[in-house]
Copies of this chain bind each other. A is one copy, B any other.
Amino acid sequence: MGGVASAATPVSMLMNDTRSDFVIVGGVAAGPKTAATLARRMPDAKITLFQKEKFLSYAPCGMPYFASGDIESFQKLMMTPYGVVRDERFFETSKGFKVITGAEVTRIDREKKSVTVRMLDTGESFVHQYGKLVLATGAAPIKPGFPVADSPMIRPFTRPDDAIAFRNAAQQGEVGKAVIIGGGYIGCELVESAAGMWGIETTLIEKESQVLPNVLDPEMAAIVEREMIRQGIELMTSAEVERIDLNDSGNPVVSIRGGDKIAADYVFLCLGVRPSVSLARDCGLRIGGNDGIHVDTHMQTSDPDIYAGGDCVESYHRITGANVCLPMGSLANRHGRVIAENLAGNEAEFRGVVGSFFVKIFDVNVGSVGLSQKAAEALDFRAEAVWGTFPDKPDFYPEFKLFAAKMVYAADDGRLLGLQAAGAGDICSHVDVFSSFLQRRGMLDDLLDFEHGYAPPYSEPVDPLHHLAGMAIAQEMGTRFVAPGVDFSDSALVLDVREEHEVSSRPWPTDHGREVLHIPSGELKQRIGELDSSKTIYIVCGRGSRSYQVALMLKQAGFENVHVVGGGVLASLV
């Protein structure tokens, strides 16, 4: 390999350097991971990575925390744990491959096995040949379907420049009011970035009727929405943006269909991303139904000499069997390893995704894996769900916190389909464990077999996954669960089985003046005569488990229309 490359490498030198064994396009996650693994496996191979931007191997998922001010400098996102910046020199000397930044690959010639590269600073182009080519071209923000005025204060949040622009503006006190358009996970993260440390008055606008519509069911999203409102965010759901103009002072004004106009200093366009596949499409590689590059389990494209990974590809979904685009840095890294192993002649496969997802929104931890109930139903699964509110440690242990969880499963055979969890409590291990079961087509019985670590500082003797599996089995035996916050029919009876002190401190939040019958669970056996068995009964308690036991009791006593309100009153207060 030649000397240390840098943005200052003269084009003439690059032009004379005409071929690499491996050429990699893209320098954020999948690209550098592929190159570094490959260089370890094949130290004598010549590997060249072209990156369009000047930033390399930064952690895109860390950008909201740089924007918020939690992370001091952008450079920190590009540093190794031991304080070395991952720049051209680092990759050349420590990782053993060459990196050219400011270098846009504009064309792939599959017959000649070459790429055309344009140096952005000079505009000059050259041709470089490859033995094998790896595309890690990432994803780009989806363009709004409404008119947007041209302003540096109206922009997406996907690139380092976006994060730096906002951070600078916020730091200089230029942003008193921000509007975030789109309540997906980037939008939700930015709510905290803007309103948290900078104290910016923030409005979140989401077209759908809930935030995080792709990963949460409405009643679980409600936990996130309540937290945003509690933190002073103006939340507008089912709100469609009509246009964004500039007012006389040059500040953005967001017009909502129906009339509202919101003036702001800064507008984030968080409408999602789409795989960047123009290079792949132009050279005739197969593109999948979701507009991502099609790859097989070896991450090989329709051309055996070209591999692809990261946000630009489609992944096989292990539960649905369909292909999906899941732009995640964690997946991109795993793609990179698989590509490198295959290029080095070692068999490796990427067997698909289940859709693991975490996001922190102020004091609420949110996690989801697999399918939401609405997603499962849309795919014609006979999906059922159970809910519970759980402490993340035993109640007797100081400083336990609560979270609510919803589990989705297939009623036909008990196959696990998805888990959603949200609340102040620690949710991570439950979501990750559930993911490991989804990976191997887990069933309800597998959850009952799960041996979690138990010690009071960390967990309860009975794991939330055991409880959820038990509820699901009970539901299949006839005890019906309904979502927290469900609308009851007017003729239904709400039976609150909590103790007096619980009811008085947290009354059942009914806004219809509906009659709520209150009988503590311990007295129910004696007072069962007070219930009208002809009515539909909804049982509510603190966290959902007493209701479930009461439901079994009522069923045994001959009541037919009995429902458990999943997660209890506290599901709204996690």
Interface residues of A (CB under 8 A from B): 29, 40, 43-44, 59, 61-62, 65, 70-71, 76-77, 79, 81-84, 90, 93-96, 328-334, 337, 348, 351, 353-360, 365, 367, 369, 391, 394-398, 426, 428-429, 431-433, 435-437, 439-440, 446, 448-459, 461-463, 466, 470, 498-499, 501-502, 521-523, 525-526, 541-543, 546, 549, 552-553, 556
Q: Name A433's contact: one of B432, B466, B521, B543 (CB within 8 Å).
A: B432
| Cβ contact within 8 Å between B358 and A396 | no
Q: How far is the CB of A497 from chain B (nearest CB, A)?
A: 10
| Cβ contact within 8 Å between B356 and A452 | yes
Chain B neighbourhood of A499, CB < 8 A? 82-84
Q: How far is the CB of A428 from chain B (nearest CB, A)?
A: 5
Question: Would you give 25 A-B contacts (Cβ < 8 Å), ordered by A?
Answer: A43-B553, A43-B556, A62-B396, A76-B396, A81-B391, A82-B546, A83-B501, A94-B522, A329-B454, A330-B462, A333-B462, A337-B448, A337-B466, A355-B451, A356-B453, A358-B453, A358-B455, A365-B457, A428-B459, A429-B432, A432-B453, A435-B452, A435-B453, A439-B446, A439-B450
Copies in the complex: 2
Report the Cα distance A351→B447, complex, angstroms. Answer: 12
| Majority secondary structure, A binding face | mixed
Given that A358-B455, A397-B62 are known contacts, is A333 also in contact with B71, CB under 8 Å in the complex? no
Residue of B nearest to A40 (CB): B552
Report the Cα distance A423→B65, complex, angstroms. Answer: 25
Report the Cα distance A440→B448, complex, angstroms. Answer: 13
| Cβ contact within 8 Å between B61 and A525 | no
Report the Cα distance A499→B85, complex, angstroms. Answer: 12
Residue of B nearest to A185 (CB): B455
Q: Name A435's contact: one of B396, B450, B455, B502 (CB within 8 Å).
A: B450
Chain B neighbourhood of A542, CB < 8 A? 81-82
Q: How far is the CB of A394 from chain B (nearest CB, A)?
A: 6
Chain B neighbourhood of A452, CB < 8 A? 330, 356, 432, 435
| Cβ contact within 8 Å between A456 and B356 | no
